Amino acid sequence: TMNDKAIVDEEGKRMRDAMNDSVTLERAGRIGLIRIDHPPVNALAGPVRTGLRTAVDRLAAEAVPGGTAAGGLAAVVVYAAGRTFVAGGDIAEFDDPDYDITHLLDTLARLEGLALPVVAALHGSVLGGGLEIAMACHYRVAQAGTRLGQPEVRLGLLPGAGGTQRLPRLVGAGRALEMMLDGQPIGTDEALRLGLIDAVTDGDPRTAALAYAENLLAQGAGPRRSAERPVMVTAGAGAGNEAAAAATEVADFFARRRTALAARAAVYPALPRIVDAVEAGCTQGFAAGLAVETQAFQACLRAPQSQAMRALFFAEREAAKLPGLPADVALRPIRRVGVVGAGTMGGGIAMNFANAGIPVVLVDTSAEALARGLDIVRRNYQASAARGKLDVAEVERRMACLHGTLALADLGDCDLVIEAVFENMALKLQVCAQLGEVCRPGAIIATNTSTLDMDALARASGRAGDFVGMHFFSPANVMRLLEVVRGAHTAPEVLATVVRLARTIGKVAVVSGVCYGFIGNRMLESYLRESEFLLLEGASPARIDAAIQSLGLPMGPCRMLDMAGLDVAAKVVIEHLKAGGLPPDPSYRAAVQRMFALGRFGQKTGAGYYRYDGRTPLPDPEVADICRALAAEHGIAQRDDIGDDEIIERCLYPLINEGARILEEGIAYRPGDIDVVWTCGYGFPDHRGGPMHMADRLGAAHIVRRLEHYARQRGNPHGYWDRSALLARLAEHGGRLADFRGA
């Protein structure tokens, strides 16, 4: 095998020598190359780390500055095979309790310490540990289009292989902090401007780096070590680490950053630690800064926030995998999309495709409605342009993707048509039947319904195999979640095509089976039920919202419904009641129905659970009166001892319990899918990993005990507190929801 055999040329010089399956040493004249090859993204898994170490040590032994005729090496190039340079540490390894970053740190110190110039050849994604390798090299050449960044913060981490020290030395402390605190990668233009890379090539990065190295040798250039540079606190302004006079200025600079992060520091502990590490490196030097970084990295790695965010990283990717689907399923090409209904939802949906350059035919029944819809889309784009997020020319390009029409027949050449008309069964049945007639054979027909019986709509279309649910979340052009609903007869390739398309338009797709509310809204129902009972029992909207927001959700239930519209919410309840889907409990969601009856529709009418001064919610004593009256009508006793813990447990534990039922019933494939629904669609905090992840942290036994407690305390005539069989089983026998697979 390659492992133990060196490839030698006719003069006996070694050309290729595999350190192991992932790292190979090559030679091109007097330049040695380290080649990393660990598909799919060259993550720094164990074999890459050990291979890298062996390679660096081998090179150190053969280094002969300037090279010799006898074959000594004069320069080194580091490059990677496949679609990308190194995309970072192997995130899957971070759960290993023995994971130790110091070995990699030491390898990078040795790489940087080589007495020969070392050039990194970059392409694809140069992220995390990948950028840290690149920065330990002395020079960097990147293919145009390469993305460079330190995204660790999105995993609840900080750079742990020297990034907090080398990046500030290359681009200045200010820009380095921004890059590490928001985790957003940068492109080659900016990287070149900042001095993070030295050259950009349109060609093969390996070839360009070899030429770059030859050029360095021709100029007699030697190593140029990032670690030996001073840190510029502000780019060009010159308050370096040696500038004792500027010490107070430096201290101020970091103090200001810390203050700006203070509010988020408790839930994202990596943030202040990034500032600490950069400051230490700035004021006490590279080695001291590195020590702070290492200690902080190890602490964050074990912190629950990072564990949650890492689990979500993999859950988002796993959600796109459809169990039982043949790997070679042929996807249907989607070149043109139709959207029926130019309202808020339809317009938002259409924007997603226009953003991706896919032409959209937008249909509505009146010219006014169509013009209004297109105008809202245009104003949305213009607002983005005004905020500097979109080119003005791009606004026009996107608008040019949208073609309005009044004729359903114009959908005949679309590959996918999504109906987004009012949430009314008769109307949707009619539209789906019409789509069955006008769409070309093989076109996919999708409904955006959130509550109606999707299989009935599929039947109405006469093409149940081509029919699928695409449940977008409002605002449809912003929220990342797309619930893809698998009907009883949806063809596997239709499901796979839509899941793949979601990725093209920047959404995270989660597949749900058919049930009332699908995954997200079904779980939301129990949460809203309890929040409304709490209102009747005397907890104020502000009290309930504050307790929920203390978990890190952006809005509590009352604020959320005020934004969404209490009329919309109440109509859903009323329809559900008519359809016989609700328990025979007259107090069930009585609060929202009363608000609706009183014309308190929420923010848009200036009053709902709160009254509004513009968009600012203010407590409204009238709401307390309304709730008191409702409580009296329904024989519910009001209490003044409702604490935050009760609010959180009563709203969240039934939601978790419902999630467990959704798993049991096979509505969701995996617990991670449910967590993705909640974090991408409802603002559930990523640092808690989603409701299923949170349940595992709390333990099934604890949740079941509390459900039983509330069943006793509140009574349980309607089964609100019945435990799901899955939770009950885990509570009894141990185990985690995370390990549940397949009903």
CA 427/CA 463 separation, integer angstroms: 18
Q: Does 127 bind ligand CAA (CB under 6 A)?
A: yes
Q: Does 421 bind ligand CAA (CB under 6 A)?
A: no
Residues 382, 678, 711, CA angle at the centre, nearest 5°?
Answer: 140
Least distance to ligand CAA, CB of residue 291, Å: 15
Strands in 75-80's sheet, in edge-to-edge order, are 6-8, 14-18, 23-28, 31-36, 75-80, 118-122, 139-143, 199-201
Q: Which is nearer to ligand CAA, 107 or 603 (CB)?
A: 107
| Among 151-159, 167-175, 605-613, 636-644, the segment contacting ligand CAA (CB under 6 A) | 151-159
> What kind and span of H or E run contains 467?
strand 467-472
Cα 685 → chain centroid: 11
Q: Does 44 bind ligand CAA (CB under 6 A)?
A: yes
Q: Which is nearer to ligand CAA, 125 or 540 (CB)?
A: 125
Query: Which one of residues 33, 43, 534, 542 is an interface residue with ligand CAA (CB under 6 A)?
Result: 43
Least distance to ligand CAA, CB of residue 289, Å: 15
Least distance to ligand CAA, CB of residue 95, Å: 11
Q: With contact defined as beta carbons under 8 Å apart, do 181 and 271 qualify? A: yes
Least distance to ligand CAA, CB of residue 274, Å: 13
Query: Site for ligand CAA (CB under 6 A): how many residues?
Result: 22
Q: Which of 62, 93, 112, 132 is catalytic?
A: 132
| Among 154-162, 203-211, 342-350, 424-432, the segment contacting ligand CAA (CB under 6 A) | 154-162
Looking at this protein, which amino acid is placed at residue 220?
A: G
Q: Which is nearer to ligand CAA, 117 or 183 (CB)?
A: 183
Parallel, antiparallel, or unpaired: how do β-strands 14-18 and 139-143 relate?
Answer: unpaired
Least distance to ligand CAA, CB of residue 546, Å: 33
Q: Does 34 bind ligand CAA (CB under 6 A)?
A: no
Q: With contact defined as beta carbons under 8 Å apart, do 164 and 173 qualify? A: no
Q: Which is nearer to ligand CAA, 303 or 425 (CB)?
A: 303
CA 177/CA 574 separation, integer angstroms: 51
417 three-state secondary structure: strand
Q: Which of 47, 130, 133, 52 is nearest to 89 (CA)?
A: 130
Q: What is the DSSP string of 367-406?
A: HHHHHHHHHHHHHHHHHHHHTTSS-HHHHHHHHHTEEEES
Q: Does 317 bind ligand CAA (CB under 6 A)?
A: yes
- For the question of residue 132 being annotated catalytic, the response is yes
**CB under 8 Å to 256, separation ≥6 — which residues?**
none
Q: Does 499 bind ligand CAA (CB under 6 A)?
A: no
46 three-state secondary structure: helix
Preceding peptide of 40 cis, ω within 30°? yes
Q: Does 41 bind ligand CAA (CB under 6 A)?
A: yes
63 three-state secondary structure: strand
Q: Which is nearer to ligand CAA, 319 or 727 (CB)?
A: 319
Q: With contact defined as beta carbons under 8 Å apart, do 19 and 25 qualify? A: yes
Instruction: Give the position of tokens 């050990």.
Output: 50
Query: Which one of residues 55, 73, 87, 730 is an interface residue with ligand CAA (CB under 6 A)?
Result: 87
Q: Does 101 bind ligand CAA (CB under 6 A)?
A: yes
Least distance to ligand CAA, CB of residue 518, Å: 24
Query: Which one of residues 32, 51, 151, 672 is an interface residue with ligand CAA (CB under 6 A)?
Result: 151
Query: Which one of residues 32, 89, 289, 436 is an interface residue with ligand CAA (CB under 6 A)?
Result: 89
**Which two tokens mark 251?**
């201290």
| Among 56-64, 147-155, 462-470, 638-646, the segment contacting ligand CAA (CB under 6 A) | 147-155
To the nearest 10 degrees (0 to 180), the angle between helices 286-302 and 102-113 is 150
Query: Which one of residues 51, 129, 205, 348 is an interface residue with ligand CAA (CB under 6 A)?
Result: 129
Q: With contact defined as beta carbons under 8 Å apart, do 23 and 47 qualify? A: yes
Q: Binding marks (x or -) toward ligand CAA, 157..176, rule CB under 6 A? A: x--xx---------------
Least distance to ligand CAA, CB of residue 292, Å: 15
Residues 47, 49, 50, CA angle at the centre, nearest 5°?
Answer: 65
Q: Which is nearer to ligand CAA, 126 or 651 (CB)?
A: 126
In 177-234, which ranges are E strands? Answer: 199-201
Q: Does 302 bind ligand CAA (CB under 6 A)?
A: no
Q: Does 32 bind ligand CAA (CB under 6 A)?
A: no
- For the question of residue 249 being annotated catalytic, the response is no
Q: List the catalytic residues.
A: 132, 152
Positions touching ligand CAA (CB under 6 A) are 40-41, 43-44, 87-92, 101, 125, 127-129, 151-152, 155, 157, 160-161, 317
